[in-house]
Amino acid sequence: MTNTLTMLEIDRVAKRYGDSLAVADVSFTISKGEFIALMGPSGCGKTTTLRMIAGLDEPTGGEIRLWGRRLNEDAPWKRNAPLVWQNYALFPFLSVRKNIEFGLKQRGMPIRQRREKAFEWMERLGIAAYADRGIDQLSGGQRQRVALARALALEPEMLLLDEPLSALDPHLRVRMQSELVRLHRDLGITFVCVTHSHSEAFAMANRVVLMNEGQVQQIGTPREIHRRAANRFVAEFVGGNNLLSGTAVDAGNGLMRVDGPFGSTLARAPTDRVLQTGAEVTLVIAADCIDMLPARSGTGNEIEARVLTLEFIGSAVTVFLETLGGAELRIQRPLHEIENSPLSPLSPGQTVIARWSEDEGYFLPA
């Protein structure tokens, strides 16, 4: 981050609808120029939080501040925080051009300037050819671009996006994803994007706010969240992690032994708390941190296991193993590595050694 000015503060914000609490107590800050992803399963309060930033919902507790000024009571039309809606919410009776001009017209921009500006954005997003078409004559991807152009034409300092890719087909989604990243880089404005997909959030955002049941679970860079989940929910939600339950045994030297159905493994003892010998613990090892070897090498944690199944996901392969004790391990390796390994061809039933170093695993708070 080149600029770490705090732009938007979400300070202990809550939103109650009757008896249900959509957002319980959420705090985080957004710096100028950041690409923030609000991520979580449906119903976690991420969209409500976004709508409160836009002013479409009023918080029932806490404060939202923009550049230090309380924003809670500002009407939505007084905030310059255009939203790209999940269903686009384009005006069906207006042409593409008039949709994009709408916000500028509200500001009283003269018609000629408005046209020019709308045209600029249509060019930039590659929709100038459809300027005079109606919305119902556009494909999903084209509508998405109109929605983006309509919001960006206002030249806001902050763009809000509500599940911007969810209505697109997978191929288009990936293209739009990199296009959003490029737009963000070129414009230098703040993007706040709601998504339920960790791959989308990780691919686009500088920082991710992971929410569940109306509360923030973890805030961090995609890498931090992927490598050090703050709790069990995060470790499971982002996927690609092995969660091993076992019993802790102090091994000395800053190491902790964990015994379980997978056998016995060593990991660095947490520095932020003391684990008693005999405590029930959960050890997390990311699937991409585990190697597969044909024989023991004598270093790190090594567990003998049998291959259950293989899943090809393009350039990577997910291998499911079963340890002798009956625990399941998931491993993710590049396809090219699997193909060139001495284990190749890998097939179900084969016995391998799963290996990872003591530094790779970490403990979750109970």
Name the region of 188 (left: φ>0; alpha: ψ -120 to 50; beta: rest). left
What's the rounded Cα separation, in Å, for the pair 209 and 225? 10
Whole-number Cα distances in Å, 295 to 206, 214, 299, 321, 345: 40, 47, 11, 15, 16
- Report, in Å, the least distance between residue 94 CB and other proteins: 8
Nearer to other proteins, 94 or 251 (CB): 94
DSSP 17-77: ETTEEEEEEEEEEEETT-EEEEE-STTSSHHHHHHHHHTSS--SEEEEEETTEE-TT--GG
- Report, in Å, the least distance between residue 173 CB and other proteins: 21
- Report, in Å, the least distance between residue 164 CB and other proteins: 14
- Report, in Å, the least distance between residue 106 CB and other proteins: 4
Nearer to other proteins, 104 or 205 (CB): 104
What's the rounded Cα separation, in Å, for the pair 231 and 206? 21
Structure tokens at 338: 């699997």
Locate tokens 């990991």: which residue?
267
Nearer to other proteins, 164 or 246 (CB): 164
Name the CA radius of gyration of the chain, rounded.
Answer: 25
Nearer to other proteins, 83 or 287 (CB): 83
**Helix axis angle, 96-106 to 111-124, nearest 10°:** 130
CA 302 to chain centre: 32
- Report, in Å, the least distance between residue 75 CB and other proteins: 7
Chain positions contacting other proteins, by CB under 8 A: 54-56, 75-77, 80-83, 85, 87, 89-94, 102-103, 105-107, 136, 150-151, 154
- Report, in Å, the least distance between residue 2 CB and other proteins: 29
Nearer to other proteins, 32 or 150 (CB): 150
Nearer to other proteins, 162 or 200 (CB): 162
